[in-house]
A and B are shown apart, each in its own frame.
Chain A
Amino acid sequence: MSGAVNDRRRINGPARSVEPIYTPTVLDSVAKGRSDGRGLDHMRPIYAKAGPISDAQTTASASGSAFYEQGSIRISCAVYGPRSARKPNARRAHFVCDFQYAPFACSKRSPTQSTDEHETSLWLSNTVGPAIRLEMYPKSSIDAYVTVIESDGKMATLAATINCISLALADAGIETYDTVAACSMGLRDSQWIVDCTHQENAECSVLVAYMPSVDEVTGVLQTGKTTLEVHEQGVQLCTNVCVRVYAVICRALQASVE
């Protein structure tokens, strides 16, 4: 349901609008295995490009940028910095993540989308921030602006966002301890499956953001409930997949330099 706020700065449609009830089509029926024929531990194909915006070399272009695709998830990130901070901290840089969904990105527009965006921005700053060597850039600020152009599965989109930001940071030449790679898993019939799409609605899912070179986890997110053993198993499996994602991101960075 679209929000009822009358925003003066935008062209507004009607105050209230809802999605029609879509009659289920043949495609929606639950299929055995996965609807796109992937294995249970296969991620969707990733396409990552570093520097699509910053390469334009206009005077107002970003220091680093990345465009990331995972299946039908599409995310664009621009990193500005290090640039002078408004409230400079003499010891370290100030890292801020600004996350937003494009209005057409989700299959359903929800009124809580904007609070979601705030919460996600904060969470991203705390997940990707620890990887950056902030002490190397005192009195400056590093800003990452992320726009999700198309989303497919909430946890998977979050994981993809982290990958995108890591790629953009590296493209900007900002010193980090390591590139953060993230991936998500969903629990279905007490089995963990990697990278769930929106259709594969898992009641319980876990997301892990991991730095393989230093073997450190920067963020873990779980939704839904499960036993401790199953949760630990999920986190371990997720971490293993993160290493594979890391390889893809590194290859994309290599390709951008060549």
Chain B
Amino acid sequence: MASTEQLTFAIETFKRIHPVEFQRRFLSQDTRHDGRAFLQFRATHVVKGTIGTAQGSATVRIGNTTVVCGIKAEVSEPDVNTPDQGYLATNVDLSPICSANYRPGAPGDEAQVDSEHIFRLFGEVVDLKQLCIENDQAVWSLSADIVCLKSDGNVLDAAIIALMAAVEDLKLPQASLDPATGVVSANKAIETQLTLRKRLFPATFSLVDDAYLVADADDAEERLTTATLLVVLDDQGHLANVWKRGAGTIDRPTIARCIAEAKNRQNVVSSALE
């Protein structure tokens, strides 16, 4: 007959084999496994201009999550329906480099969904008319690629902040179209930056284990998350976007609380982006 003694484990072992219980031990005591308060975000650092080969770039770190965004500018003909507008294509790249959850090769579901969401968000930020070089003939085409280098939860927030910083960092050389040859030449000595319509400040909240509302969940907490809420504010503090993901339910007072907390986060992100 086996002894009914309780098994005791070293912390690391317990964390590995009972990840849910491990998190519950902390959450039930009103704290998180890394010592943060429930609504405390991790330290956020933004560095602009990190990639020399890109016209605009930024590296963002939220705790251990590291994301790099590079914007490359090329020239192309505008779309027939919008002859004075350029292009901005945003793509999120989640690869095995950052986490074992992702497969190499073509973008997976999460990357596609994030890319699409960020694309729609930034449609309000960048005025595509500023990308016009010559009406109906040549426009700038910006390819913004957000590569996740290290994933420890909340990649979406980091991606939005990185793209925001990269767009602010973007320097376009002065371009002119030669009407005779149809060739666009650019002068790197004179550079202009874009004037943005608005700036976006994201904040992600997760409902862990269907009971605890935490801000900026890291990888271990994301595994127990039943629902996630992304709140994006603009510079006036107005709601730019609210996006709820996950099968779990979040009640309306909680959503209101998240939106209120997002305002605090906005100040932090805003100063990080300076």
**Complex-state Cα separation, A19 to B89, whole angstroms:** 16
**What is the bound-complex CA distance between A143 and B89, given in angstroms?**
31
Report whether B115 and A10 are in contact in the complex, using a CB–CB cutoff of 8 Å: yes
CA of A19 to CA of B98, assembled, Å? 30
Assembly CA distance A23 to B218 (angstroms): 47
Interface size class of B (residues with CB under 8 A): 35 or more
Whether A9 lies near B106 (C-beta < 8 A) is yes
**A66 shortest CB reach to chain B, Å:** 11
The interface residues of chain A lying within 8 Å CB-to-CB of B184 are: 18, 20-21
- Which of B51, B54, B90, B150 has the most chain A CB atoms closer than 10 A to its own CB? B150
Neighbour of B145 across the interface among A17, A72, A104, A107, CB < 8 A: A104
Within 2-17 of A, Cβ neighbours of B (below 8 Å) are at 2, 7, 9-14, 16-17
Write the nearest CB–CB distance from A80 to chain B, whole angstroms: 6
Closest chain B CB from A194 CB (angstroms): 20
Interface of A is mostly: loop
Which residue from B143, B185, B186, B220 sits with its C-beta under 8 Å from A103? B143
Within the complex, what minimum Cβ distance (angstroms) separates A148 from chain B?
A: 10
Quick check: A76 and B220 within 8 Å, CB to CB?
no
Whether B74 and A17, one on each chain, are in contact in the complex, defined by CB atoms closer than 8 angstroms, is yes
Inter-chain contact A59/B150, CB cutoff 8 Å: no
| Cβ–Cβ < 8 Å partners of A13 in chain B | 76, 87-89, 141-143
Which of B65-73, B201-209, B229-237 lies at the interface with chain A?
B65-73
CA distance A54 to B195 in the complex (A): 39
B99 and A21 within 8 A (CB): no
Q: Are A56 and B152 in contact (CB under 8 A)?
A: yes
Using known A-B contacts A58-B152, A105-B53, A152-B52, determine if residue A11 contacts B89 with beta carbons closer than 8 Å. Answer: yes
Which of B87, B93, B223 interacts with A14 by CB under 8 Å? B87
| Contact A25 to B189, CB < 8 A, known contacts A13-B76, A104-B70, A150-B52 | yes
Question: Which A residues are in CB contact (< 8 Å) with B189?
Answer: 23, 25
With CB as the reference atom, state the residue of chain A lying closest to B12: A57
With A2-B74, A16-B77, A58-B152 already in contact, the answer to whether A104 and B57 are too (CB < 8 A) is yes
Which of these, B64, B70, B107, B175, contacts A20 with CB under 8 Å? B175
What separation, in Å, do the CA atoms of A23 and B175 have in the docked complex?
Answer: 10
Residues in A neighbouring B75, C-beta threshold 8 A: 17-20
> Nearest Cβ distance between residue A12 and chain B, in whole angstroms?
6
A145 contacts across to B, CB distance below 8 A? 95-97, 104
- Give 1 or 0 for each of B45-58: 1 = CB within 8 Å of chain A CB: 00000011110010
Contacts of A21 in B (CB 8 A): 183-186
- With A20-B186, A106-B53 as given contacts, are A2 and B147 in contact (CB-CB < 8 Å)? no
- Tell me if A250 counts as interface (CB < 8 A to partner B): no
Tell me whether A78 is interfacial, beta carbon within 8 Å. Answer: yes
CB distance from B140 to the nearest CB of A (A): 9
Question: Roughly how many angstroms separate A240 CA and B167 CA in the complex, as a whole number?
Answer: 44
- Interface band, chain A: 35 or more
Is residue A98 contacting chain B, with contact meaning CB distance below 8 A?
yes
Question: Distance (Å) between the CB of B27 and the closest chain A CB?
Answer: 17
A147 interface residue (CB < 8 Å to B): yes
Q: Closest residue to B189 on the A side, CB-wise? A: A25
Within 8 A of A (CB), among B136-191: 141-143, 145, 147, 149-153, 173, 175, 183-189
Q: Given A18-B76, A80-B100, A58–B145 Cβ distance below 8 Å? A: no
Query: Which of A11, A14, A25 lies in contact with B188, CB distance below 8 A?
Result: A25
* CB nearest neighbor in B for A63: B100
Q: Which of B16, B64, B96, B186 has the most CB of A within 10 A?
A: B96
**Residues of chain B whose beta carbon lies under 8 Å from any beta carbon of chain A:** 16, 19, 51-54, 57, 64, 68, 70-72, 74-79, 87-91, 93, 95-101, 104, 106-107, 112, 115-116, 119, 141-143, 145, 147, 149-153, 173, 175, 183-189, 218-220, 223
> What would be 10 A-B contacts, judged by CB atoms less than 8 Å apart?
A12-B89, A13-B87, A18-B75, A53-B97, A53-B98, A58-B152, A72-B52, A98-B96, A100-B104, A149-B68
Given contacts A7-B106, A59-B220, A147-B95, 11 further A-B contacts (CB under 8 A): A13-B76, A14-B79, A19-B75, A53-B98, A58-B218, A58-B220, A59-B19, A77-B97, A103-B143, A146-B97, A149-B147
